[in-house]
Structure 1
Amino acid sequence: MPAPALAQDMNMDMPGMEHAHAGHDMPAEHTMTGALGRYSMMRDASGTAWQPDSAPMQAVMGQAGGWSTMLHGFATLTYDNQGGPRGDEKVFVASMIGAMAQRPAGEGTLTLKAMGSLDPLMGKRGYPLLLATGETADGKTELVDRQHPHDLFMELSATYSRPLGEKLSGFLYFGLPGEPALGPATYMHRFSGLANPEAPIAHHWLDSTHVTFGVATAGLVYDRLKLEGSVFTGREPDENRYDIERPRFDSWSVRATWNPTDNLSMQVSHGRLNSPEQLHPEEDVRRTSASVTWNLPIGGKGNWQSTFAWGRNDPSGGHHTHTTDAFLLDSAVQLGRWTLFGRAENVDKDELFAEGDPLEGRVFNVSKLSLGGYHSVPVGKVSLDLGGLVSTYDLPKAIQPDYGKSPTSFMLFTRLRITG
């Protein structure tokens, strides 16, 4: 699988160096095909999502019997300092190891994926991140101004695709855990978002279903168009990060994706999530998403990609009663060993204040801008990245007594990653 399909919230495949587009000139015996049909493997991203065909990837490729294999991995040491009265600081390590194997099976192709993370070692409360909301650390209170860690098992999935015509193919995907057909390619699986070591505050409007315990997806691919639908478990992962949770298959989603050119990928999707929040089990959410990702290779050692995405959560039957929207624009440009990145977000937040607070349940429109970069040092089949970022915010007056008028946050990080 292309590297983007095996990364995680803390980033995996960072924009690379000399091998950023290595997948285009690998030996034939090590070349994988698209997991869902007859197209370049470069198009595949997280779960069954697509990215532009020209997007970069990095991995160690190999052969094992009749299987083509791929291996990815990273570990990121981060110093995190979130400013303002509700800020905090922490040193933590985010990590991921992912593998894929693919082989012909009958008249089709079988693809197996496995991805895991040692993020649970950072603690159930994850790391400080102003304005981030979603999931719980103890099963009793919501995580606010913190990004949750990811589960030990992030993906264990199988995909079978089969040609149905000259340009037509059908596919089946099953994951426990896996990712349903909902939202854009997860931020850490696309070049424009994966350079940044912090999660977007729009994560739970766009791509929080990327670790879902129980997913079954069926779809059709015709040339550059993909139509698919999923049944999956709506409940987000609980605070027990080491187990595999019971699948429920109580939710559904549909998605259409079109790659009109090698440099462009667009999707629109809609789904109904049954009882996604453990702390509000009576509440269901309808989620709608649309996104455009543009990618431009720059010579043999560079790349520029940008993604614009919108997501809407429409809750019913429970604690939250307001429809909320999130907008995200992220971009990354790699020039040789240097990579510069940025992310701008505007999100409606209604979970920033706990029960009993006078501001509980109110919707606040908040904005965040992050800019950063890193320098890569290649060492054999791995690379060492040294970088940092700074974030600033635009906050409504009502919450400035709690957050400060103009808080500033920053991260310093060093990341060791497989490049191939």
Structure 2
Amino acid sequence: MRLLLATAAAAALFAAPALAQDPGHDMPMPAQPQPTSDMAGMSGMRSMMSAALGDYAINREASGTSWQPDASPHAGLHLMQGPWMVMVHATIDGVYDWQQGPRGGDKAFVSGMLMAMAKREVGDRGTVQLRAMLSPEPFMGKSGFPELLQTGETANGVTPLVDRQHPHDLFMELSGAYAYRLARQDSLFVYAGLPGEPAFGPPAFMHRLSIMDSPEAPITHHWLDSTHISMGVVTAGYIHRNWKLEVSRFRGREPDQHRFDIEAPKLDSTAARISWNPSANWALQASWADQKSPEQLEPDENIRRWSASAIYTVPFGHGGYWSTTAAWGRRTSAHGDLDGYALESAVRPNLDWTIFARAERVASDELALPPGAHGPAVTVGKVSVGAVRDFSLTPHWSFGVGGLYAINFVPGALRASYGRSEPQGAMGFVRFKLD
């Protein structure tokens, strides 16, 4: 881990490799460092552009072991350090959040992530990858930030968070993976993290190209991707061409209110996922999980989860793209079945502007008063739209200014407590990005 963080820090501070165009995509791709020989250059480029888990472009790999379309741009600053390919990527957002009504509020906070990855080939057929991801969100406080209709986890070990989004842990991922190529398009892999991400759902929302520019967490977070920080994960998988089958054992309990620590691992839950990328523009997945005691305040309750998603991404112009994700998730517990749906899309017409939008619908039984008490399930929804304008500071650093507006839809049974049937919300933000 010291090698990974030290090398990534050096890359961020001192390295400035030029960007080259990948002929396969109209997207900026990292150029190889100057080789000492033609053979060394070929090896370095192959190591840089190839994925860690199989024989496909590195662009396909997203959070954990999840897949995104091959046509996705691969963000990050890259360089070679001996046999290691190192990548570092960072996004830091300064956000002011306002949520309307008696269950709303306002708050200024910092969110984002710093991610570092190091990868090398081992022998003729093996690849090792180390990855770390850190978040500044614990510094916002245990209670997180106001977000109407959001539920999940706890602020202090006593009170459930309702109409607020919890901060993510300081250590979002500390993982390692080893892959062994059986043939050119067949491989086996094992992935382990403390914390890590099991084989469930689409890529985590802060990694999905269709919405990663928004600082607002989806209200479907605990239907689709809340397991992206699991304190203990081991995943084994098999890849054949554009198919992937994988199974995970992981700690079902979601992170507690102590956001700066690493909790003891306990592999008590199971997840399985099948993924298929039928073309460079598509990534499809279906997954299932048996999650033991996910909520700290309800330790005797287990949840069965299902999800399915489709991601479509197409590049165009100079560094532009359009990416859309459609996803469904179901949570089944002693309280019944609860479904959540999300449709999100982002358009980047050029390197300066990104426009994003999301529509969600969930059935929730935790929005009644008192907060967190299970009541009759109600269907609520949210639509948000926003944009961000980026300004280049250096070849790899940019500064952005953005904002979003959200409208929430609550049924008549909740209208009195929310103050109106369509309470609104907004966020303004600035960001620094290393890319």
TM-score, normalising length: structure 1: 0.92
The answer to whether 1:326 aligns with 2:340 is yes
1:266-323 Cα deviation digits (max 9, x unpaired): 000001000000000000000000000000101222000000000000013xxxx121
**Secondary structure of 2:101's aligned partner:** coil
**Secondary structure of 1:53's aligned partner:** coil
1:209-257 Cα deviation digits (max 9, x unpaired): 0000000000000010000000000000000011110111000011000
| Residues 18, 300 of structure 1: 8 Å contact kept | no
| One-letter identity of the residue aligned with 1:392 | I
Corresponding position of 1:217: 235
**Corresponding residue to 1:249 among 267, 282, 288:** 267
C-alpha deviation, 1:190, in angstroms: 1.3
**Secondary structure of 2:278's aligned partner:** strand
Percent identical residues = 46
Structure 1 pair 146–243 and aligned structure 2 pair: CA distance change class (3 A): same
1:59-116 Cα deviation digits (max 9, x unpaired): 1111222211000112101110011221100011113211000011123000000111
| One-letter identity of the residue aligned with 2:384 | S
CA distance in 2, matches of 1:354, 1:137: 17
**Corresponding residue to 2:425 among 392, 400, 409:** 409
**Secondary structure of 1:260's aligned partner:** coil
Corresponding position of 2:109: 92
Corresponding position of 1:314: 332
C-alpha deviation, 1:24, in angstroms: 6.6
For residues 136-285 of structure 1, the aligned pairs below 5 Å read 136-285=154-303
Corresponding position of 1:56: 73
| One-letter identity of the residue aligned with 2:294 | P
Q: 198-207 or 348-357: which moved more?
A: 348-357
C-alpha deviation, 1:375, in angstroms: 0.7
Corresponding position of 1:345: 360
CA distance in 1, matches of 2:99, 2:260: 27
TM-score, normalising length: structure 2: 0.89
CA distance in 1, matches of 2:20, 2:391: 11
Aligned alpha-carbon RMSD (Å): 1.8
| Residues 350, 362 of structure 1: 8 Å contact kept | yes
| Residues 339, 363 of structure 2: 8 Å contact kept | yes
| Residues 287, 307 of structure 2: 8 Å contact kept | yes
Structure 1 pair 60–323 and aligned structure 2 pair: CA distance change class (3 A): same
**Secondary structure of 1:405's aligned partner:** coil
| One-letter identity of the residue aligned with 1:169 | S
| Residues 205, 325 of structure 1: 8 Å contact kept | yes
**Corresponding residue to 2:390 among 370, 376, 397:** 376
C-alpha deviation, 1:410, in angstroms: 0.5
| Residues 109, 140 of structure 2: 8 Å contact kept | yes
| Residues 155, 177 of structure 1: 8 Å contact kept | yes
Q: Which has the higher contact order (CA 8 A, sep 6+)?
A: 1
| Residues 365, 375 of structure 2: 8 Å contact kept | yes
C-alpha deviation, 1:23, in angstroms: 2.8
1:34-71 Cα deviation digits (max 9, x unpaired): 12111100000000000000011221111222211000
CA distance in 1, matches of 2:424, 2:184: 55
Corresponding position of 1:397: 412
Corresponding position of 1:3: none
| Residues 82, 130 of structure 1: 8 Å contact kept | yes
C-alpha deviation, 1:406, in angstroms: 1.8
**Secondary structure of 2:359's aligned partner:** strand
Structure 1 pair 394–232 and aligned structure 2 pair: CA distance change class (3 A): same
1:161-204 Cα deviation digits (max 9, x unpaired): 01112321110000000000000111111110101110000000
CA distance in 1, matches of 2:343, 2:246: 25
| Residues 205, 211 of structure 2: 8 Å contact kept | yes
Corresponding position of 1:83: 100
Q: Which runs of 5+ in 2 are unaligned?
A: 1-7, 9-18, 34-41
CA distance in 1, matches of 2:109, 2:193: 29
**Corresponding residue to 2:86 among 69, 93, 112:** 69
| Residues 23, 42 of structure 1: 8 Å contact kept | no
Q: Which runs of 5+ in 1 are unaligned?
A: 1-5, 7-16
CA distance in 2, matches of 1:354, 1:267: 36
**Secondary structure of 1:323's aligned partner:** strand
The answer to whether 1:385 aligns with 2:400 is yes
CA distance in 2, matches of 1:181, 1:360: 28
Corresponding position of 1:22: 28
Indicate the structure (1 or 2) with the bigger Cα radius of gyration.
2
| Residues 148, 408 of structure 2: 8 Å contact kept | no
CA distance in 1, matches of 2:122, 2:27: 28
Corresponding position of 1:35: 52
Structure 1 pair 307–18 and aligned structure 2 pair: CA distance change class (3 A): farther
Corresponding position of 1:363: 377
Number of matched pairs: 399
Corresponding position of 1:44: 61
Q: 45-54 or 345-354: which moved more?
A: 345-354
**Secondary structure of 1:193's aligned partner:** coil
